[in-house]
Amino acid sequence: AIYIGLRRNSAAAWLALALLFGAAETMFMAMAGDPVIEIAAATVLAPAACLCIGESLRLTTGGRRHWPLLAVVAALVGLSLLLLALGAPFVIQTVPFQLAGALALGDSIYRLRGSRNLLDICLMLNLGALLAIFLIRIPVYPLVFDPTVPLVTIKGSPIEQYMLTASALLVPPAVFMLLARIVGGIIATHRTRAERDGLTGLLNRRAFDEVSAAAGPDGGAVIFCDIDNFKRVNDHFGHQVGDAVICAFAGLIGNTGHCAARIGGEEFALLLPGVDAAEAGALAEYIRARFHEAAHHGVPAGHRLSASLGVAAYGPGLP
């Protein structure tokens, strides 16, 4: 339902697929009645669900797909199915697929590494606990259970019941935290589109007006910039070159560290709270000189571009 409500968001689609695999595994384990079918379903569906969670996170973090990891997980699942077909004891057959699930969750944790966001930290700890459950089963099953013990006995054992309960408690928070991450990313994207100029990434006119209106009472200065004869650049060299020139100027004023905005086609502004007119004038001259000296792709070397900049002070008592 959330996937549909988010207009078919890809990250939500992978999360929905993970939930579908998890639900299918639960149904097989509860209703199949055949241990071989139950084991085969868990072997395939549990790592698949973990991989889908990783894909959902990949889309929210902007990372690349780790093809070698996918190949290793697939190979481990295949090995586990082969052991099942050969009649290997469950405590041995389950080892590769438990490792596959752990590796798949490890990929998700790796994608969240280094984040200082509280939601990401909580999600990473949650996934780490789920990963631990996969890893704990690998040495515990052979140590606790005789190889001849059937699956139904293992399923009913206290240690497996504890692990299933822990998984049941950990999965819903993980789902909700991942959903919160997906929705938060969508909100941030829309906010960026509403506040930022699509070509340069600087603030747009509306956002700059809002920032200016919220400027502190101590005063400061504003620099207004205009690229000279910009229409000629478009007419003589083409709009692609014109866009490159605009981006170059935007990068120049954006690198000053002050609040920079594109307020029109070739018009820009810089807000400098706490800066007096003389200091703002020196910065304006620096920007003008740097832009005039710069070479631009598509513009002949002998054709230097220029910009006009004006400085105005603001604050109490100023018009």
* Three-class secondary structure of residue 202 per DSSP: coil
CA distances in angstroms from 101 to 105, 130, 233, listed in the order given: 6, 9, 58
**Size of the chain in residues:** 319
Phi–psi pair at 121, nearest 5 degrees: -65, -45
State the Cα–Cα distance between residues 265 and 123, nearest whole angstrom. Answer: 43
Q: Any catalytic annotation for residue 266?
A: yes
Phi–psi pair at 116, nearest 5 degrees: -105, 5
Active-site option among 25, 266, 267, 285? 266
Q: What's the distance, CA 196 to chain centroid? A: 19
- Asked if 163 and 141 touch (Cβ cutoff 8 Å), the reply is no
The residue type found at 202 is L
DSSP classification of residue 228: T
Catalytic positions, written as ranges: 266
